[in-house]
Amino acid sequence: MTLQEECSLSYYKKIADLSDSHGVYLVQHIESKKIYVKKVLTIYNADVFYYLKEHPIKNTPRIYEVVEDADSLIVIEEYINGHTLSELAENGGTLPEDKVISLMKQLCEILKQLHNTTPAIIHRDIKPSNIIISTDGLVKLLDMNAAKWFHAQAGQDTTLIGTVGYAAPEQYGFVASSVQTDIYSVGVLMNVLLTGTFPHNRMAGGLLGDIIAKCIKMEPQERYQDISQVLEALQATQRKHSLQPIKLQHYTLPGFRSHHPLKMVAAVIGYVFIFVLSLTATVETGEVYELWLSRVAFAATMLAIVFFSCNYLNVWDKFGLSNVKNKFLRLLLAVLLDIAIFIVGATLPVLIKKILFQS
């Protein structure tokens, strides 16, 4: 590290640990007060980072400083605020097909820029936690730590790197990584977003099923040969999707969205339990209208609590819960809103009675 490089880095003051074990920190420039991400990498391709610093890729974090120091690489890059796909999937379980198509089209556009460099840059770590939806609604691809140049003459990767489940077979040392390596991971990612699990557990059906199946072929030459082909397939699928009169998957009830047998059985039991309680509920007075008013209000209240708790139709977005990153705080706020729903539901029959019969 030169004296000038050391001086440049000294302007960035650490303010938080994002992942101390992985050498990722939140830093603030002491003059501009802007927030950045600082990474101290031990496994890296320095040439890729130097290239990206001089040739920024749209919708990836802008790189401002790249400094080699002994056996590590120090990178200062743009901090992007938003929610990762892993957080979105965690909040809502799975995503509807039209949403997945929209997200994957944006991801393909980013990968297209990387793959069109000379030589191509292979990301090699496509997964939900490395894809963020920024506050302005755009898909951003993070973490170039595993990225490398594509070399056609290379027999196999010299460093085995990637994430289990998302990594293509060639990343385990059989052949060299290529653009088909990222295409494989995109296929797995689509399957996880649609079904909540990996293809070897359950393959996605629907309009995206065939695209996913081709993306994740074992042999790279049997997959799409470039990311533009995946993008074209997604665009064609989106056109077919727009012709469907009703997008029923989007309205699937909580408990049935993941198609997991245990969850569906639990959901059936839960819904039956709510309706049985509703039909057997009694009131102190003998008025028939009061009895049925109370029963309907109870059923509606319990269903509202279930739908809200399960983030049905992304209702959390309306209350700002999806923007709360702290899981404990998000859960606490959800519970408080559930209590508010219960209180409203409990008082609703009385209010309706006053309005209709005592006005």
Whether 91 and 311 have beta carbons less than 8 Å apart is answered as: yes
Locate 273 and state its tokens: 């339990």
CA nearest neighbour of 182 among 107, 233, 89, 119: 107
Whether 224 and 213 have beta carbons less than 8 Å apart is answered as: no
Q: pLDDT digit string (tens) for 125-173?
A: 999 999 999 988 899 999 998 899 987 655 555 455 678 889 998 888 7
The pLDDT assigned to 1 comes to 76
CATH dotted code for 3-78 = 3.30.200.20
The pLDDT assigned to 44 comes to 87
The pLDDT assigned to 358 comes to 62
For the residues 44-62, what does the mean pLDDT come to? 95
Q: Give percent of the chain above pLDDT 90.
A: 53
Check pLDDT > 80 for residue 85: yes
Q: pLDDT digit string (tens) for 207-231?
A: 899 999 999 999 999 999 999 999 9
Check pLDDT > 60 for residue 246: no
Task: For the chain, give percent helix, strand, coil, nearest 5.
Answer: 50, 15, 35
The pLDDT assigned to 258 comes to 67
Whether 238 and 101 have beta carbons less than 8 Å apart is answered as: yes
Whether 65 and 7 have beta carbons less than 8 Å apart is answered as: no
| Kind and range of the H or E run holding 83 | strand 82-84
Check pLDDT > 80 for residue 313: no
Of 177-186, 247-256, 277-286, the range with the lowest mean pLDDT is 247-256
| 3-78 shares its CATH topology with 82-250 | no
More confident residue, 257 or 130: 130
The values of phi and psi at residue 283, to 5°, are -125, 160
CA nearest neighbour of 228 among 60, 116, 100: 116
Could you tell me how many residues make up the chain? 359
Query: Quick one: fold of 82-250?
Result: Transferase(Phosphotransferase); domain 1 (1.10.510)
Residue 285 banded pLDDT, cuts 50, 70, 90 = low
Check pLDDT > 60 for residue 92: no
More confident residue, 92 or 312: 312
Helical residues (DSSP H) of 196-326, grouped into ranges = 209-215, 227-243, 261-280, 288-309, 316-319
The pLDDT assigned to 89 comes to 61
The pLDDT assigned to 158 comes to 45
Strands 131-134 and 139-141: antiparallel
For the residues 309-319, what does the mean pLDDT come to? 81
What is the residue extent of each domain of the chain?
A: 3-78, 82-250, 253-357
Q: What is the CA radius of gyration of the chain?
A: 25
The pLDDT assigned to 323 comes to 66
Report the alpha-carbon angle 278-261-275, nearest 5: 5
The HSE-up count of residue 272 (CA atoms within 13 Å, CB side) is: 6
Mean pLDDT, rounded, of the chain: 87
The pLDDT assigned to 319 comes to 81
